Amino acid sequence: MLRTTHNSLGKMVPGIVFVVVSPDNRHVAQVVERAGKLFVVMDGMQQKEYDWIAQATPLFSPDSRRMAYVAMVHGQDTGPHPVVDGVELKQYFAAGLYLRFSPDGRHLAYAAAHRPVGAQFVVVDDVAGKEYHAIGAESLCFSPDGRRFAYGARRGDKWCMVIDGQEEKEYDGLGTSMVFSPDSRRWAYVAKRGHGRDSMECVVVDGVEGDDYDGTIQGTPIFSPDSRRVAHGARRGDKMFAVVDGNEEKSYQSIECLTFSPDSLQVAYVASGPVSGFLGLRRHGAFRTVVNGVEGKRRVDISLSGLRFSPDSRRTAYVMQNFDGWWAVVDGVEQGPYDGIGNGTPIFSCDSRHYAYRAGQADKAVVVVDGVQTQEYDDILALTFGPDSQRLAYAGRAAATSGASWSIGMKPMTNTTRSSRMASSFGTGRTCSALWSVVTESSYG
């Protein structure tokens, strides 16, 4: 039996402009407009009224315990206030640019300025830092443990990374990807020399510059889970390639979705190259997965989610397209075709023994578990394995005469026959019409 606990997160307030739900699904913040004023309603409690609240705020901390936004009252304030947990912080002419919480939620950082044209600086926990001519957009970055902090800054026509308050070497520009290693001890970023067509880029790891390239690939560099290895994508002329631990791999017309396996021993990405006779291929040509330099079969297309490793790093899965539809490829075995396969799937269970994905055929949806399809639904959401890998849960919607009805499904992962597993696919689920329900806790018994 599936047991659930339902928590009310407050009523939806008339005049809603923006709504955000906390990462743990336990809190809701609403920006509401009423009589020309804007205010935030947090878990049903109204906060102070303002004339302006910044777009893309409120923002919850990753641990869901804190909430911040940027607001201003015309005629009274000389600039906007960052408002954190309902408390107004110091105001500047421009404040709250690029709001960032640390992963543990203990620290808040943002960029600010004293006047329209002039110095900018970073404020961490309401303490202003050194002034620069500009602060890099989206460059503010906390380490995973929340103890370290970095950002990009410009003085004159030169840029540098400021890491733990110390300025690194100056360059003509910086990339958008500053990253700390999972253990928070190492760091890496992209630096640029020159301007325009003559510019070159290199990856700087722990202060050591790598080779120069015509360009690097967005979203890289990345660290391995054990923090010992580094990989990034690079471009030389019209060719792209992966650089793993400083070693260049084979060149392709494009590479993307660069990732390490959980055990840090494997590196994988999706590569493409020109293929004559293929029509309508995404971007450059046929696609293939590459794992530790070993190429997979050519495909018409591969999902932008790339290749996924199981938690034990022994299994792989990805979604690919051929001319007859979309296929799931698990451990090299193709399953399909379908009209579509759900984003973010296939997924593996925590013990790596099972996998599941959402698939669509015509106007129906099914869940495929270890290669076996469940019953059909009009739509399926929230596919997840239990922590003990013994259950798979998801929400299925079926058309009903009284309207759309959602039920919570549960599938036991037992060593029974396929037919008996199919018969036990669903327990009794709660249904609702034209309403969304947030399930905040689940347990199995």
Other beta carbons within 10 angstroms of residue 407's beta carbon come to: 17
pLDDT at res. 280: 47
Other beta carbons within 10 angstroms of residue 91's beta carbon come to: 19
Determine the Cα–Cα distance for residues 77 and 86; give it in Å rounded to an integer.
Answer: 17
- Structural domains of the chain sorted by starting position, each given as residue range(s) with its CATH number in brackets: 14-131 (2.120.10.30), 342-445 (no CATH)
Give the side-chain half-sphere CA count within 13 A for 251. Answer: 7
* CA nearest to 180, candidates 226, 243, 222: 222
Sequence-separated (6 or more) residues with CB below 8 Å from residue 303 = 318, 319, 320, 321, 341, 343
Question: Would you say 290 and 299 are in contact if contact means Cβ atoms under 8 Å apart?
Answer: no
pLDDT at res. 316: 95
What tokens appear for 54 in the block?
């910044």
**Tens of pLDDT, residues 389-400:** 888 888 887 765
Residue with structure tokens 């696609």? 287
The parts of the chain modelled with pLDDT lower than 50 are 1-2, 275-284, 401-408, 414-445
pLDDT at res. 417: 29
Burial of 305 from C-beta contacts in 10 A (0-12 / 13-18 / 19+): middle
Determine the Cα–Cα distance for residues 167 and 162; give it in Å rounded to an integer.
Answer: 4
CA 277 to chain centre: 36
Sequence-separated (6 or more) residues with CB below 8 Å from residue 77 = 91
pLDDT at res. 174: 94
**Tens of pLDDT, residues 140-196:** 999 999 999 999 999 999 999 999 999 999 999 999 878 999 999 999 999 999 988
Question: Would you say 82 and 74 are in contact if contact means Cβ atoms under 8 Å apart?
Answer: no
Determine the Cα–Cα distance for residues 274 and 276; give it in Å rounded to an integer.
Answer: 7
DSSP state of 242: E
List Cα–Cα distances, 303 to 33, 140, 287, 354, 355, in angstroms: 40, 30, 10, 21, 17
Determine the Cα–Cα distance for residues 203 and 211; give it in Å rounded to an integer.
Answer: 7
Q: What is the CA radius of gyration of the chain?
A: 25
Other beta carbons within 10 angstroms of residue 246's beta carbon come to: 12
